[in-house]
Amino acid sequence: MRKIGILGGGQLGRMMLQQAVNYPVETWVMENDEQCPSASLCHRFVKGDIRDREAVIAFGRQVDALTIEIENVSLEALQVLESEGIRVFPNTKALGIIKNKILQKEYYRANNIPTSAFRVLSDRSALQASGVSLPAVQKLATGGYDGRGVMILRRPEDLASGFDAPSVLEEMVEIERELAIIVAIDERGGQAVFPPVEMAFNPEFNLLDYQLCPPDLPRATLWKAEAVAQSVARNLGSPGLFAVELFVDRSGEVLVNETAPRVHNSGHHSIEGNFCSQFDMLLRIVLGYPLGDADIILPSAMINLVGADGYEGEPVYEGLEDVMAMERTFVHIYGKRETRPGRKMGHVTVLANDRHTLIHQAERIRETMKVKGTIKK
């Protein structure tokens, strides 16, 4: 039986493993935390640091193909494995570009892909000397995840507390909407594009509240977004799954924010909402099977369940049964042993024929279900 390895053992890997059960494949996972969401679902769990060159090489040599659920892996190790004939999704050329925000932005520029204007900075003194017009957005070249590597600079005083490391300094986009489009490319160059998803933000906290598919935008804007996303994925020259995050600005222009070369939070709804989910699609690519149908079955909303403020310890899922009793809802709990404020603990997808119902249901779910914990702070 063929063996595939996943570097990283979080919820993305877990949902891929849930689908892998349907195919003749042996699944291996490497991750430091033995109690991670993927550990109990794979055939073989290997405890190890996915950033450690030697550990990843040793792991990779035991499988036929490898994929990632986070970009923060040893690129050097994957290069060695690729040269030995192990198939790596995405390939190391694409991963090398995306892993570093400087190279990623330069890639967009070199390929005429619309993105916000930017300059490259070596450290904080370069930021202070930049004479940049504010507001601007500074992003760490490497190592920033879930908003931690992004800083919005609004006043001249903010420059003194900017990141003191290689980074990109971007022009602030006047964002009208944020979209994500997942593009899948197989080893023969075949392609499937998932319909766009719209991120709905809570203006009070600037937190992602829920996402909707399809978005409520003019067709012409969505076509433009799809063309841009396809161009991002195609020019990378790699098989795999690519989640392209886009901004639509006030004038209707489409700009690429960033790309993830893997399954992505913006594709969770596809498990129930689409004929082929993003997880199934990536597995098909890694295993050399035909691509699936990315079209939607019904419109959907996806609500992330994050740890509530003020709670830690073992998670307590308040309102779980109330949400399960609602129409056409699908609850996913990631099995994390501990909750923390803001930690992604699960998600709920809801399907409905019309957008009005979806928004209503998403708000209800958000109000009804809370992830609290056994320790109150």
List of residues contacting ligand ADP (CB under 6 A): 116, 137, 139, 144-147, 149-150, 170, 172-173, 175, 178, 245, 257-258
Identity of the residue, 158 or 258, whose beta carbon is nearer to ligand ADP in the bound complex: 258
The span from the CA of 45 to the CA of 47, in Å, is: 6
- What is the closest distance, in whole angstroms, from the C-beta atom of residue 260 to ligand ADP in the complex? 8
Identity of the residue, 84 or 174, whose beta carbon is nearer to ligand ADP in the bound complex: 174
The span from the CA of 44 to the CA of 267, in Å, is: 26
Q: Which amino acid is at 202?
A: N
Residue tagged 């596809």 (tokens): 270
Would you say how long the chain is, in residues? 377
- What is the closest distance, in whole angstroms, from the C-beta atom of residue 139 to ligand ADP in the complex? 6
- What is the closest distance, in whole angstroms, from the C-beta atom of residue 95 to ligand ADP in the complex? 16
Identity of the residue, 147 or 310, whose beta carbon is nearer to ligand ADP in the bound complex: 147
The span from the CA of 114 to the CA of 141, in Å, is: 19
Identity of the residue, 255 or 331, whose beta carbon is nearer to ligand ADP in the bound complex: 255
Contact 286, 89 (CB under 8 A): yes
Structure tokens at 299: 């419109």
Identity of the residue, 143 or 190, whose beta carbon is nearer to ligand ADP in the bound complex: 143
- What is the closest distance, in whole angstroms, from the C-beta atom of residue 162 to ligand ADP in the complex? 14
Find all residues with CB under 8 Å of 342, minimum gap 6, and list them. 306, 307, 309
- What is the closest distance, in whole angstroms, from the C-beta atom of residue 101 to ligand ADP in the complex? 8
Of 39, 37, 20, 362, nearest to 202 by C-alpha is 362
Contact 170, 101 (CB under 8 A): no
Structure tokens at 269: 């709804």
For β-strands 344-351 and 329-333, DSSP reports them as: antiparallel
Identity of the residue, 89 or 247, whose beta carbon is nearer to ligand ADP in the bound complex: 247
Identity of the residue, 246 or 283, whose beta carbon is nearer to ligand ADP in the bound complex: 246
- What is the closest distance, in whole angstroms, from the C-beta atom of residue 247 to ligand ADP in the complex? 7
The span from the CA of 184 to the CA of 276, in Å, is: 11
- What is the closest distance, in whole angstroms, from the C-beta atom of residue 352 to ligand ADP in the complex? 25
